[in-house]
Amino acid sequence: MSRRPILAGNWKLNLTVRESLELASAVRDKCARHRDVDVVVAPTHLALHAVAQRLADSPVRVAAQNCHWADQGAFTGEISPAHLADAGVAWCIIGHSERRQFFGETDDGVAKKARALHDRGVLPIICVGESLDQRDAGQTLSWVTGQVKAALAELTADEAAVSVVAYEPIWAIGTGRTASPEQAQEVHAAIRATLAELYGRAIADRIRIQYGGSVKPSNVKTLMAQPDIDGALVGGASLTADSFAGIVAHRAED
């Protein structure tokens, strides 16, 4: 089945509001001709509304990097799915390994966030991935598929179908190391098989699965050639418009 690729740039804790607007404008201009893919940028929370306004008339969509599952309440420092929807945000990254590692994100919390985002019309990009120790111990597939099952536990089949799963091996994030296309495909295939167990093959074939972990213009084409890799969640290479546009343009010569 042909799935529309989705390329998302996670800007992490980088760029001021002014710098975010400049980069968003450059991405919009450089990626405008690539209408056969979905392009998403994820600035810091402070820049979300401004970037969403800047990109409102373009096909480039905006993602938040995290959220809380509550719409409101005594949760100092958090941002809610209701806030994101009001700001014009289309997507939200949840369960990123940095959130799990440094801020205590749990599988249960990811599931609650996925549920809350759908309730507000914001689509989740649900991150899963293993550590180097887990890979070396042969636990990759059981660990990652367990994360998938937990994260989607509260979603219906139709909601899962329009969500995105992002496989990011922790050992490849920001390290310059990248899983080989074959390693990535093995995990993506296992994720899709798990989705078929949960929702049936027809729904599983609709769900897009991104790869993340040191994706750059020089390796994106070989990764995207794999049958179960439907996009990329890009970190450092998304911080310059030329580099990110090179990733978005991976099909230009196909």
CA 124 vs CA 51, 89, 193: distances in Å: 19, 11, 20
Strands 164-167 and 91-94: unpaired
Written as six digits, the tokens of 17 are 């509001």
Q: How many CB atoms lie within 10 A of CB 218?
A: 12
Strands 61-64 and 123-128: unpaired
Angle between helices 107-119 and 140-151 (to 10 degrees): 40
From CA 13, how far away is CA 235, in angstroms rounded? 11
Residue among 159, 212, 233 at smallest CA distance from 6: 233
Q: Which helix (H) or strand (E) holds 93?
A: strand 91-94
| 197 belongs to the catalytic site | no
From CA 67, how far away is CA 83, in angstroms rounded? 9
| 98 belongs to the catalytic site | no
Query: Are the C-beta atoms of residues 121 and 98 closer than 8 Å to each other?
Result: no
Of the candidates 49, 96, 188, 250, the residue annotated as catalytic is: 96
Of the candidates 98, 168, 188, 250, the residue annotated as catalytic is: 168
DSSP structural state of residue 175: S
* Phi/psi at 223 (5° precision): -65, -45
From CA 190, how far away is CA 203, in angstroms rounded? 15
Question: Could you list the active site residues?
Answer: 96, 168
